[in-house]
């Protein structure tokens, strides 16, 4: 599994998906997202457990931020999209988690 936290380089999809199994929310962002929005995502990752944040090179231009949980995904207008916080509230360690209680660390911190 990918260790939770903020990454400034992309992570392997397979590792991130394993983290989703543990109940994490994976927030991916376009590499050209403005720095102030990346900072907002960093604040979210640092203030809550079970959050993984990383750039994702191939996001569509009209969806610069995407939040994913196990079996759930939402495209967002940016880091300040109100749907982001409601998605995190609904799905971080949510009822869809296949492996509740599994750790969000002790895995890998490797990037691509």
Give the pLDDT confidence of 43-101 residue by residue, as tens digits: 999 999 999 999 999 999 899 999 999 999 999 999 999 999 999 999 999 999 999 98
- The DSSP secondary-structure symbol of 78 reads S
Its pTM stands at 0.97
Give the pLDDT confidence of 34-57 residue by residue, as tens digits: 999 999 999 999 999 999 999 999
Residues 62, 69: Cα–Cα separation, whole Å: 20
- Number of other CB atoms surrounding residue 63 within 10 Å: 14
| Higher pLDDT among residues 27 and 100, named by residue | 27
Q: Over 90: is that where the pLDDT of 104 sits?
A: yes
φ, ψ (nearest 5 deg) of residue 37? -75, -35
pLDDT of residue 101: 87
């Amino acid at each position: 599994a990918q260790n939770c936290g903020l990454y400034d380089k992309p992570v392997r999809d397979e590792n991130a998906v394993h983290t989703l199994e543990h109940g994490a929310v994976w927030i991916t962002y376009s590499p050209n997202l403005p720095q102030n929005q990346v900072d907002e995502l960093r604040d979210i990752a640092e203030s809550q457990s079970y959050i993984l944040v990383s750039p994702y090179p191939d996001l569509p231009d009209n969806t610069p931020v995407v939040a994913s949980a196990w079996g759930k995904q939402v495209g967002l207008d940016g880091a300040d999209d109100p749907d982001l916080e409601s998605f995190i509230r609904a799905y971080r360690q949510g009822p869809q988690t296949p492996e509740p209680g599994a750790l969000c660390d002790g895995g890998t911190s490797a990037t691509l």
